[in-house]
Amino acid sequence: MRNLIDQMFALFDKRTESMSRNMAHNHGRRSFLAKAGAAVIGSAMLPLLPFEQAGRAYASEEEENPMDPNSCSYWRYCAIDGNLCSDCGGTLTSCPPGAEASKVSWVGTCHNPSDGKDYLVSYNDCCGRAMCNGTYCLKSERERPGYQMGLHNDINWCMANTSQGYHCTVAVLIGLAEGA
Amino acid sequence: MRNLIDQMFALFDKRTESMSRNMAHNHGRRSFLAKAGAAVIGSAMLPLLPFEQAGRAYASEEEENPMDPNSCSYWRYCAIDGNLCSDCGGTLTSCPPGAEASKVSWVGTCHNPSDGKDYLVSYNDCCGRAMCNGTYCLKSERERPGYQMGLHNDINWCMANTSQGYHCTVAVLIGLAEGA
Amino acid sequence: MSFKKSVMYSAILQCLVGTLMFSSAQAETKFVPEKFTVEQTIKPGPNVIVNGASWDGASKIHIYGQEELNYQGSVSAGLVSQTLPSKDGKQLYVLSHYMKRYTYGPVESAVQIFDINTLTEAKEIIVPNKAAHAIGMPGLLERNYDDSWIYVQNATPATSVTVVDKKLGKVINEVAVPGCFGIFPAKDSNKFSTLCGTGAIKSVTFNGNKYEISESKSGLFDVKKDALYVQAIRNVNGLLMIPSFNGNIYMVDDSGKAPKLVEKISITKGTEGNWAPGGYQVMSYNKSLDMIFVLMHPDAYEGSHKDASSEIWAYSMDKKKIISRSPAENLVALAVSQGKTPILFGSNEEDETVDQYTLADAKAFTFTKAGSDDKTGWSTNLQVDQ
Amino acid sequence: MSFKKSVMYSAILQCLVGTLMFSSAQAETKFVPEKFTVEQTIKPGPNVIVNGASWDGASKIHIYGQEELNYQGSVSAGLVSQTLPSKDGKQLYVLSHYMKRYTYGPVESAVQIFDINTLTEAKEIIVPNKAAHAIGMPGLLERNYDDSWIYVQNATPATSVTVVDKKLGKVINEVAVPGCFGIFPAKDSNKFSTLCGTGAIKSVTFNGNKYEISESKSGLFDVKKDALYVQAIRNVNGLLMIPSFNGNIYMVDDSGKAPKLVEKISITKGTEGNWAPGGYQVMSYNKSLDMIFVLMHPDAYEGSHKDASSEIWAYSMDKKKIISRSPAENLVALAVSQGKTPILFGSNEEDETVDQYTLADAKAFTFTKAGSDDKTGWSTNLQVDQ
C-alpha cells in the first residue's frame, strides 16, 4: 500500500506542479489539487458495488479458470485491459527487463474465490517498449469512464512516465477491499 | 517510357549528387556514376531469361486467374512484392490520393497470356503513408538480390523520396521486353 | 562535371530508346507506355471514417464511401489516434502522438487537419503532451459549435481540456476540470460540458482568456449504479442525449448556466432479457428520423458495458419506443448516415472489420449486414462525414 | 503552497491508512501488499533473437531462451529493423529508421546497441539515412572480425557501405561499391567482401581513412542462371560458404587480395524432385559438426527462391553428403545452435511464428518441431547469440 501512496504522491508532486505552472486562469491551485485528489485517490477507495457477477474474458471461448494466472479468467484480472506481462518476459507483478514501471495505475476490486475475500488490485502498465504481443485480456468489473480516472482502463497508464509507450500490464495486490 | 527515363534521371540527378558530396574517398565521381548506371539501368534492360514458368502467388490457395487485376496471379504481378494500390484507394497504375509516387522502381518482365508478349513492368511504390492493409502479393519471377538492384523487390522503393514510408505498390507497363 | 553528366545521360538515353525502337518495330500494334500517376481526389459522396488506432506504430484512418463501402483511401497518424470530421464534413481532425523513438523518447502530440477530398494535410498544430492517450472514443477530440476551436481532452492523469484555435493554428487556452472527463460542445460556441466523478455535469463558459465553470446539481447521475458513457449527441430539440450503462438516455439541457437533467428515458423498460448497451461508441443518431441506434447485448452484468453487440436497437426519441431490433454481432462502435433511409456502420471487434448494415425491410425498419471490409483492422470508433 | 500541500497529503494519507487498518483488522491473516517491480535481467543461457520488423511502426525484437523457447523479453526499434548479435553474444545491434511522422517526414537512421542480459540500451549511433530499408536478412548489418566496426549496407538505390566505429560511437567511413550488395566480413578486420551484379565478388580493404577495392574474376557466379543469396558463412577451414538459388554452395577464399572461387558444391546432385533452397535466410551452420542446414522446397522454378520450406536438409561439408532431411513446413529463415546436439529455429511465414526443431532421432539425425510461439508475428530472419 506504501507503493500506491508513493505512486500517487509522486503523481501529484510531478504532474500537478507542472500542470499548474501552465495554467494562468481563474482557478486556484488548491481547489484544483483538492478536486483532483478526490477524483483520483477517492475513486480507488470506492466501496464494493453490490454485485459479484463474474466478468468475461476477451477470448470468451477459452477455459474459465479463476486460479490460473495465464488465463484471462484469473480472479485478479477482473478489471484488466492489456497484454499480460507474465507472457512478455515479466511476471504477474513485474515488468520485463528493460521496461519502465508506470508511475500511476488504475485499481480494481476483485473477488478471490480461494479465500472469499475482495482485494484491491493495482493494474500497472510497463512502459517504453512496443506493445508486447502476449496474451491480451479485457475485463471491466467496476471499471468506469475517465471521470473516475482511478478506475478507468481505456487509457494508457504510462501517461505519467518519461517513456510513454505501452508495453504490457501487471496485476498487483495492494490491499484488502473495505468491508472484506 | 519517357516516364521511366525521367525517373531514372531524376534519381541520378538527386541521389548520386548528394551521395557523391558525402564521399571523400579515392573513387572518382565518374567511375561511380558509370557503375551505378550500369547496375541500375542496365538491369532493367536484362534479356529475358530462358524459362517461362508461372510464379506462385503468396496466398497460394486462391483461384489462379492471370487476367484478374485483383488476384495475385494477375500476369503483371510476376515479380511484385507489396500491397496492391488498387485495393487501397488507387488503381493498377496510380497511387491513392495523398500518397507520393516513388521516384525509383524495380522492373519485372512478365508474360501476357492474352497477346503472348512479354512486357517490362515497373513496380512503383506509393509513399508517405502507413502501409496499406490491402491485398498483399509476392511473386519473384526473375527477381534478384540487391546486387541487381533494378530487379530487387525486398527493399522499400520509397528510398529515394522525401516521404519514405511504404504505402502500396502499382504495376505499370513501361515497355515491350526486348525480343518480344 | 556537367559535361560528363550529359554525355553519360545521352548514352543511357540512346540505349533505352534503341531498345524500345527495336521492340516497338516488332510489335503488331504500337505499344504505348502507361503513366504512373497519383489520384488527385477521392470519389464524391458521403463517407464513413474508421479510426484504426495503433499503440505502437502509425495509426491508420480509413475512408470508405457510405453507399458501396468502397475504400477511398487513408491518412496516417501517430500513436493512439482520435478522429473527428469538421462541421462541414470537408476536413478531418486527427489527434495523435509522436515519440522520437516510436515507443519512447520525447513525445510530440499533434492535431492534424486533413482535407477529406484530397486526403492531404492542410495544417498541423502541436498541442501539449497532456492529451489523453486513450482508446478511440467520442468526447476526447471535439470542436465548438461554429468550428473555430478544437477541444482536446487531457489526462496526466489529472484532467483538463486544451483549446485550439483552428485559424490561428495554436493553443489558446487550457481549462482544468479535475475529476471530469469528456467534452460535449454546447450550441453556444464559447461553451462545453463535461461529466464528473461526483455524478455532476459541469459547463465551462469562455469569456475571452477567462472561463467560468458552472456545475449541475450533484448526483445528476449515479456513477456506481448507472454510470454514463462519455458520449453525448444533440437531438432536434437541442437537448443532449447521454446514454448510460443500464440503457437510460439522460436528456440534458445545457443551454443555461449550469446543465440540468430534463428527463431520463429507459430504452429497455418492458423488454425481457436484461439488455444493456455495450461498446466504446454505443449510440448514433439520425436527425431526420429523430431516432437513436444503440448497440445492445443481453444478460448484462457489472462489467459488461464494453461487451460487443448482439443487436442494434432503433429507438424513436419522438415516440419514445423501440422501432426495431436488428441482429448485429460483435460491434463496439456505431455510426449512422443521415437522411430518411439510413445506413449503419459498425466496428466489429471479433472480425476486426468495418461492417455496413442497410435497411432490409422498410416497413419493419430492420437492418441486415450488407458489407464488410477487413482493411480497418481493430477499431473502436468511426464517424460519418455527412 | 507547501503548507497547503502537506495538509492535503496528510488528509489523503489518513484516509488511506484508516481504510487499510480497518480492512487488516478484519482479515484473519495480515495482508502483505505485493511489490510492483521490474525484472533486472533475463534468464541465463543461450538465446535466439527474432527480428519482428515493422514497416509502419515500432519493430519488435524478440528474445527467446534456446532450450525451452521461453520468452525472455524484447527490445523495440523503429522501421524495418536489421539485427545482429555481437561477437561475444552479449550485445545486440539493431539498425532501424525513425521518421518524424512515423511514415513520413525527416528520417533518422540509427544503430542501437542493447545489452542482451538486461535488455537495456547501451549506445545509439546515428548513421546516414542511406541505409537500406530492406526486409530482414543477412548481410545488411554486419560487424568486422574483431567487432570494433559495424557495417551498414546502404541503398539509395545506389549502393555503398557505412562503417561505424563502435567505441567512438560514430561513422568513420563510407565506401561506394556500386552495383554490389551484401557485406561479408573477412577474418582480416580491415576487410569485407560483397556480391556484384556482374557476377564478381569484390573485397574492400581499409588502410586508415582510405580503402582499396579488389575484384574476383568476373563471372564467378551467373546472376541469371545460378544467382547467389546475400548470405555467407565462414566454415571451419576459413572459407566463405555462399548458397545459390539452385542449391550450390560456393566455397570462396577471401584471404587474398581478390576473392577466389575454390569449389562449388551441389547439395542437390543425385536427388530427385528438383529441390532448391528458398527463403530470406536459407542456410545456417554448425561448426562442431561442420554441417550446414538448408531450407529446401521441391519443384523449384524461376521465382521460387523465396518460397518457404518443405524440409530442412542437414548437409555435411566435410563428407560432402546429405546427412538427413527433416520435414519442416513454411520456414523462410533458419538459425542453428552450436554444439554437438543442435537445436534449429525457423521463421514460419504461414503461421507467423518462431518454430523450434530438436533432434528426434540421434542416429538418423532427423529433427521434428518441438515448439512454436506466435508472439514474433511475421519475421524473415533470426539469430542465435551463441
Residue A168: closest CA among A89, A81, A69, A84: A84
Q: How far is CA C246 from CA A21, C276, C298, C302, in A?
A: 40, 5, 11, 10
Beta strand C311-316 with C331-336: parallel, antiparallel or unpaired? Answer: unpaired
Q: How far is CA C339 from CA C87, C294, C336, D89, in A?
A: 17, 18, 10, 65
CB contact under 8 A, A27 and C301: no
Q: Give residue-wise pLDDT tens across range C293-312.
A: 999 999 999 999 999 999 99
pLDDT for the residue A4 = 44
Residue in B35, B53, B107, B147 to test binding to D, most D beta-carbons within 10 Å: B147
CB contact under 8 A, C56 and D57: yes
Question: For the domain that residue D345 is a member of, what is the CATH number?
Answer: 2.130.10.10
CA distance B53 to chain C (A): 22
Distance CA D355, CA A49 (A): 46
Question: For the domain that residue B94 is a member of, what is the CATH number?
Answer: 2.60.30.10
Domain count, chain C: 1
pLDDT for the residue D28 = 55
Asked if the structure places residue A100 within a domain, the reply is yes
State the ipTM, two decimals. 0.89
Residue C149: closest CA among C124, C170, C122, C176: C170
| B75 assigned to active site | no
Touch test A–C: 3 Cβ pairs or more under 8 Å: yes
Q: Tell me the three-class secondary structure of C110-129, residue by residue.
A: EEEEEECCCCEEEEEEEECC
Reported as a pLDDT band with limits 50, 70 and 90, residue A64 is confident
CB contact under 8 A, C119 and B97: yes
Chains that touch D (3 or more CB pairs under 8 A): A, B, C
Reported as a pLDDT band with limits 50, 70 and 90, residue C28 is low
Residue in D36, D72, D116, D375 to test binding to A, most A beta-carbons within 10 Å: D36
Reported as a pLDDT band with limits 50, 70 and 90, residue A63 is low
Of the ranges A166-180, B27-41, C25-39, C343-357, the best mean pLDDT one: C343-357
Distance CA C126, CA C152 (A): 11
Residue B137: closest CA among B72, B40, B50: B72
Domain count, chain A: 1
| B143 contacts in chain D (CB < 8 Å) | 303, 305-306
Rounded to the nearest 5 percent, the helix, strand and coil shares of chain C are 5, 50, 45
- Cell output for B107: 522492373
Task: Compute the C-alpha angle A102/A104/A106, nearest 5°.
Answer: 110
Distance CA C282, CA D259 (A): 68
The kind and range of the H/E element at B32 are helix B29-44
Reported as a pLDDT band with limits 50, 70 and 90, residue B64 is confident
Domain residues for the domain of A100 are 47-176
| DSSP summary character for residue A146 | G
pLDDT of C355 > 90? The answer is yes
Asked if the structure places residue D60 within a domain, the reply is no
pLDDT for the residue B44 = 34
Radius of gyration over every alpha carbon of chain D, rounded to an integer in angstroms: 25
Q: How many CB atoms lie within 10 A of CB B177?
A: 21
Q: Give residue-wise pLDDT tens across range C224-249.
A: 999 999 999 999 999 999 999 999 99
CA distance D66 to chain A (A): 14
pLDDT for the residue D2 = 37
Q: How many CB atoms lie within 10 A of CB C108?
A: 17
| B132 contacts in chain D (CB < 8 Å) | none
Sole residue written with cell 543461457: D45
CB contact under 8 A, A98 and D119: yes
pLDDT of C15 > 90? The answer is no
Residue D309: closest CA among D273, D345, D289, D333: D333
Give percent of chain A with pLDDT exceeding 90. 63
pTM of the model: 0.87
* Cβ-based neighbours of C363, under 8 Å, separated by 6 or more: none
Distance CA C302, CA C296 (A): 15
CB contact under 8 A, D302 and B145: no
Q: What are the φ/ψ torsions at residue C357 (nearest 5 degrees)?
A: -120, 130
Distance CA D103, CA D113 (A): 24
**Preceding amide of C157 cis, omega within 30:** yes
- C211 near A CB under 8 A: yes
Q: Cα-Cα-Cα-Cα dihedral of B85, B86, B91, B92, to 10°?
A: 90
Catalytic-role residue among B75, B81, B106, B157: B106
CB contact under 8 A, C178 and A35: yes
pLDDT of C23 > 90? The answer is no
Residue in C36, C41, C96, C120 to test binding to B, most B beta-carbons within 10 Å: C36
- D376 near A CB under 8 A: yes
Distance CA D85, CA D192 (A): 18
CB contact under 8 A, B26 and D305: no
Task: Report, as an integer, the average pLDDT of C101-114.
Answer: 98
CB contact under 8 A, B56 and D102: no
The kind and range of the H/E element at A55 are none
Choose between C181 and B57: higher pLDDT: C181
Distance CA C111, CA C166 (A): 10
| B130 contacts in chain D (CB < 8 Å) | 56-57, 102-103
* C201-207 sheet: strands from edge to edge: C180-185, C191-196, C201-207, C210-215
- C58 near A CB under 8 A: no
CA distance A178 to chain C (A): 16
- Cell output for D300: 523449384
CB contact under 8 A, C229 and A36: no
The rounded Cα D218 to chain-centroid distance in angstroms is 30
CB contact under 8 A, C58 and D56: yes
CA distance C153 to chain A (A): 10
Report the residue of chain B nearest C69, measured CA to CA: B89
Chains that touch A (3 or more CB pairs under 8 A): C, D
Reported as a pLDDT band with limits 50, 70 and 90, residue C218 is confident
Q: Strand pairing partners for C65?
A: C47
Query: Which string of DSSP letters, residue by residue, matches D119-171?
Result: TEEEEEEEE-TTB--B-S-TTSEEE-TTSSEEEEEEESSSEEEEEEETTTTEE
| C176 contacts in chain A (CB < 8 Å) | 19, 23, 25, 27, 32
| A32 contacts in chain C (CB < 8 Å) | 158, 176, 178
Rounded to the nearest 5 percent, the helix, strand and coil shares of chain A are 25, 25, 50
CA distance A162 to chain C (A): 7
- Considering only residues 120 to 149 of chain C, which have any Cβ-Cβ distance to chain B shorter than 8 Å? 120
- C361 near B CB under 8 A: no
Q: List per-residue pLDDT tens for chain D, 386 residues long.
A: 333 333 333 333 333 433 444 444 444 578 999 999 999 999 999 999 999 999 999 999 999 999 999 999 999 999 999 999 999 999 999 999 999 999 999 999 999 999 999 999 999 999 999 999 999 999 999 999 999 999 999 999 999 999 999 999 999 999 999 999 999 999 999 999 999 999 999 999 999 989 999 999 989 999 999 999 999 999 999 999 999 999 999 999 999 999 999 999 999 999 999 999 999 999 999 999 999 999 999 999 999 999 999 999 999 999 999 999 999 999 999 999 999 999 999 999 999 999 999 999 999 999 999 999 999 999 999 999 99
Catalytic-role residue among A75, A81, A106, A118: A106
Residue in C34, C91, C352 to test binding to B, most B beta-carbons within 10 Å: C34
Domain residues for the domain of D301 are 271-386
Residue C375: closest CA among C163, C71, C1, C107: C71
Q: How many CB atoms lie within 10 A of CB C320?
A: 13
Give percent of chain C with pLDDT exceeding 70. 93
pLDDT for the residue C29 = 72
Single-letter amino acid, residue D142: E
**Preceding amide of D157 cis, omega within 30:** yes
pLDDT of C111 > 50? The answer is yes
Q: Give residue-wise pLDDT tens across range A9-31.
A: 343 333 333 333 232 222 222 22
- Cell output for A21: 505552472
Q: Give residue-wise pLDDT tens across range A124-159.
A: 999 999 999 999 999 999 999 999 999 999 999 999
Asked if the structure places residue C227 within a domain, the reply is no
| D174 contacts in chain B (CB < 8 Å) | 22-23, 25
pLDDT of A44 > 60? The answer is no
pLDDT for the residue A26 = 27
Distance CA C275, CA C280 (A): 17
| B125 assigned to active site | yes
Distance CA B22, CA D363 (A): 57
The rounded Cα D193 to chain-centroid distance in angstroms is 19
pLDDT for the residue B63 = 66
Reported as a pLDDT band with limits 50, 70 and 90, residue B178 is confident
CA distance B10 to chain C (A): 11
- C74 near B CB under 8 A: yes
CA distance D272 to chain A (A): 42
Backbone torsion region of residue C46, taken as left when φ is above 0, otherwise alpha when ψ lies between -120 and 50, otherwise beta: beta
